[in-house]
Amino acid sequence: MIKGLYSAFSAMEAAWRYQDVLANNVANSGTAGYKREVAAQQSFADVLLSQQSATLAPLSSRIQEVVGQIGTGSFMAQFSTDFSQGITQNTGNELDFALSQGFFQIEAPDGTRFYTRDGRFGRDASGDLVDSHGDYVLNTNGGHVNLPADRVSVGSDGTITAGGQVIDQLAILDFTPAQLNRSGEGYFTSADAGTPIDGGLRQGFLEGSNSNIVEEMTSLLAVQRVFQANQTVIARLDGTLDQAAGQLGRFGA
């Protein structure tokens, strides 16, 4: 019975943690370049369940007869990011960009570098190219990209031109999933330099979130039902234990 309590509790804990992940995916279903997070659930090792065989041998020599195995619950083995492509939408905006591969390189005011697929860019007061948070978008040399007031054109390799003259080139870097660490919604950090990508950029487009709100909500409801079911199991086992303790007390009296 105690094993049953533990199994139900561990299942509740796994469901609770997964609810947080799914809720975050739902909240960011409209965030450009967002990559959904998924959880891998794994069972704890099974425990061998056995009983004492009712033989006529002395107690010390009774053998154990294997009944079977009992599970001891589940836990979230890991959380990982789904890097699949989101739906690309045509915005027509000069400084909206979508990538089919790789990441833009962004620099925060404190010098920290981030990588993102969120291509909602703009000009700051100095004409530097910045992202939606006001952080600098970097070029292939790791410097800031300064744009003229005139309209610019950006090629698939990130080359920026204005009036027929090449101005700069956006840094587009690719990583393996293991090289990236999530840092906020749609942003990642990496200790590795990344591999330069030559191509795959589209000007006037944005990549949407790869989180499907209908799918995420369906999963969220299923996980909530699992949580509630295990809550009921714990309540009933607790009631049974309470009743058993009361009866044992009366028997002893």
DSSP string, 6-41: HHHHHHHHHHHHHHHHHHHHHHTTTSTT---EEEEE
Consecutive 10-residue averages of pLDDT for the chain (253 residues): 60 76 90 88 48 48 46 58 94 96 95 96 96 95 94 96 94 95 91 91 96 86 77 70 62 53
* Token digits of residue 208: 């949407």
197, 102 contact by CB (below 8 A): yes
Phi, psi dihedral angles at 208 (to 5 degrees): -80, 175
Closest CA relative to residue 202, chosen from 46, 108, 92: 92
* Token digits of residue 75: 């836990």
pLDDT at 61: 46
How many other C-beta atoms can be found within 10 angstroms of the C-beta atom of residue 168?
23
Residue extents of the structural domains in the chain = 2-82+211-252, 88-207
Distance of CA 153 to the CA centre of its chain: 34
pLDDT at 48: 44
Whether the model clears a pTM of 0.75, i.e. scores above it, the answer is no
pLDDT at 203: 97
pLDDT at 44: 46
Phi, psi dihedral angles at 222 (to 5 degrees): -65, -40
Closest CA relative to residue 209, chosen from 84, 80, 79: 84
Which CA distances in Å does 141 have to 133, 138, 148, 228?
Answer: 22, 8, 19, 54
* Token digits of residue 223: 């996980």
138, 107 contact by CB (below 8 A): yes
With left for phi above 0 and alpha for psi between -120 and 50, is residue 241 left, alpha or beta? alpha
